[in-house]
Amino acid sequence: MPGLRLGPLLRYADGSSATVWLEASRPCTAQVRCPGGAGGTARTFQIEGHHYALVEVTGLTPGTAVPYEVTLDGARVWPPPGDGFPPSVIATPAPDDGLRIVFGSCRWAAPPAKGSDPVGPDALDTLATRIAADPAAERPDVLLLLGDQVYADETSEATRRYLAARRGLTSPPGDQVADYEEYTHLYYESWLDPQVRWLLSTVPSFMIFDDHDVVDDWNTSAAWLADMRTTDWWQERLLSGLMSYWVHQHLGNLSPAELAADPVYAAVRATPDGTDALRAFAAGADADSATVRWSYRRDFGRVRLLMVDSRAARVLDEDDRSMLDEGEAAWLRAQALDDRSPCDHLLVGTSLPWLLPPLVHDTEAWDAAMCRGVRGAHWARLGERLRRGADLEHWAAFPESFAALAGLLAEAGSGPVAPATIAVLSGDVHHAYAAEPAWRSRSVDSRVVQLTCSPVHNSVPLSIRLAFRFGWSAPGRVIGRWLARHGRCAEPPVTWRRTGGPWFGNQLMTLTLRGRSARLRLERARRAGGGNGSGNGDGNGGGRARLETVTEYELTPR
């Protein structure tokens, strides 16, 4: 009989339908069954010898939470007997019930060695433990994972042993993953964690990639990409990264209607082995980013989420650098300004923060100017080395894109039907903070905030902590302004101030949206009875972890 290798993951969910993703051990028919007759079936499709299914569940009732089970060729495989967790449920939102969104990024999923976790307790594990202990208590309606769901370039000791046994580590890319099969190992390592496996089976999740899903500095610059393309391992790595992302993450972001209209999904399912069709799609995406859209929109009643691809849709020409290509920028504008369905809250998910500490922002804008050659070839070479070495490739490193996003948010946030709040949700920088912009030449009706939450499970060196703290300081601002003048940088259209943080540790943010009100909570995973869970390498592996509230406050509309 077929077995369940990975999943199930509850992905898309609306008032009457949902999708459940899984991997089986061989070709089979997957079925999801709920009490009362709701459910669905799907035949597996094959990619690189692996067998996946995305089951559309229909017949659900808004405002309910029903348990479900999964069968493969008629044999029940989920829930597993005696796993100690409550039943997995599909909860469907009801109109006007409000929405609770938990988000974060950067989860290094290495299993602790001998009970000791060098980066402290995992915030997702801790969230799962809390929900499982009291399923009737507060739980997220949606989980947003904002990048670095897997680390293809920073592998665990266990993964390195697997790679060494499979192919050895002497040839590039060494102890990094090289192909699709090795990517599947990363997802097993991450999503077979018992707590996370149960959490993803019972809370709808939406995802987007960031650089470590492929490699650090992915698409930092045209020069970086040219260098990567000279290696004999990059092409397979990139195609495998895009293929595995499409299978494991992207498909579940789509609604049933979008899946039905997706030609790649149709092509993959139409053949006994969809590998060639998916590989051709990934190669096309590499050759021309405009041929694919990884960004997507989700509406939760009167809450609109726009998840933006700020990694693969870039234009890297130094004379025309842009975070988003022309088609992607037009899509984002159309979705943000869609007045046919006005919203109370507009959420823009982008793995990379829009508003950074002022010194960091000015340093990235200065570096972009150096790389563009405003101070000559010597400074351009120095700028490129700094860009790669210090990861200077956020929105600030694309000044025209930074300004364009500022203009779009101001336009979306102005007028009689403006949302109460506009929140840019980001991760990447291994700490959390809140910041609010003010436009130099206009007023905006919505309350606009940058909410950054990272990591879910990772570390940050002391030097980076100190640098980010200094970046918000008055002396840091002075140094930043000096750099901006040296780089002949245009003045950004907004100023901004830090309204919370910086906070360090393994953490998650929760946005609770009800009507036109919004409430923010930041929680950090801490070890009970030992270790502070700071992600500094001081977790001692002892005691049960808990989520501790660091801050909580209302985002009062203007």
Q: Is the pLDDT of residue 529 over 70?
A: no
- Dihedral of CA atoms 366, 370, 376, 380 in degrees, nearest 10, equals 150
In this prediction, residue 464 has a pLDDT band, given cuts at 50, 70 and 90, of confident
pLDDT of amino acid 408: 98
The pLDDT tens digits for 392-439 are 999 999 999 999 999 999 999 999 999 999 999 999 999 999 999 999
Distance of CA 342 to CAs 332, 347, 419, 434, 479, Å? 15, 13, 8, 25, 42
Q: Which two tokens stand for residue 346?
A: 């507009």
DSSP string, 410-429: HHHT-STT--SEEEEEE--S
Q: Which two tokens stand for residue 489?
A: 């940088």
Can you tell me the distance from the alpha carbon of 139 to that of 14, in angstroms, rounded to the nearest whole number?
A: 17
Q: What angle do CA 495, 381, 462 make, to 5 degrees?
A: 55
The pLDDT tens digits for 356-372 are 999 999 999 999 999 99
Report, as an integer, the average pLDDT of 269-275.
98
| Residue 482 dihedral angles phi and psi, to the nearest 5° | -65, -45
Nearest CA among 257, 255, 256, 278 for reference residue 267 = 278
Range from 47-56, 130-139, 240-249, 390-399 carrying the lowest mean pLDDT: 130-139
Neighbours of 224 (CB within 10 A): 18
Edge-to-edge order in the sheet of strand 69-72: 39-43, 29-33, 69-72, 75-78
For residue 147, the Cα-to-chain-centroid distance in whole angstroms is 3
Q: Is the pLDDT of residue 114 over 80?
A: no
Q: Is the pLDDT of residue 489 over 80?
A: yes
pLDDT of amino acid 534: 43
pTM: 0.95
Distance of CA 360 to CAs 314, 420, 478, 496, Å? 21, 29, 12, 13
Report, as an integer, the average pLDDT of 164-176.
96
The pLDDT tens digits for 37-89 are 999 999 999 999 999 999 999 999 998 999 999 999 999 999 999 889 999 99
pLDDT of amino acid 95: 66
193: Cβ contacts below 8 Å, ≥ 6 apart? 109, 111, 122, 125
| pLDDT mean across residues, the chain | 94
% of the chain residues with pLDDT over 70: 96
pLDDT of amino acid 116: 73
Look up residue 120 and give its DSSP letter.
-
Q: Which two tokens stand for residue 291?
A: 């041929």
Q: Is the pLDDT of residue 543 over 70?
A: no
Q: Which two tokens stand for residue 259?
A: 């899946």
Report, as an integer, the average pLDDT of 447-465.
93
435: Cβ contacts below 8 Å, ≥ 6 apart? 355, 449, 450, 452, 496, 497, 498, 499
Can you tell me the distance from the alpha carbon of 252 to that of 247, in angstroms, rounded to the nearest whole number?
A: 8
Nearest CA among 468, 463, 393 for reference residue 432 = 468
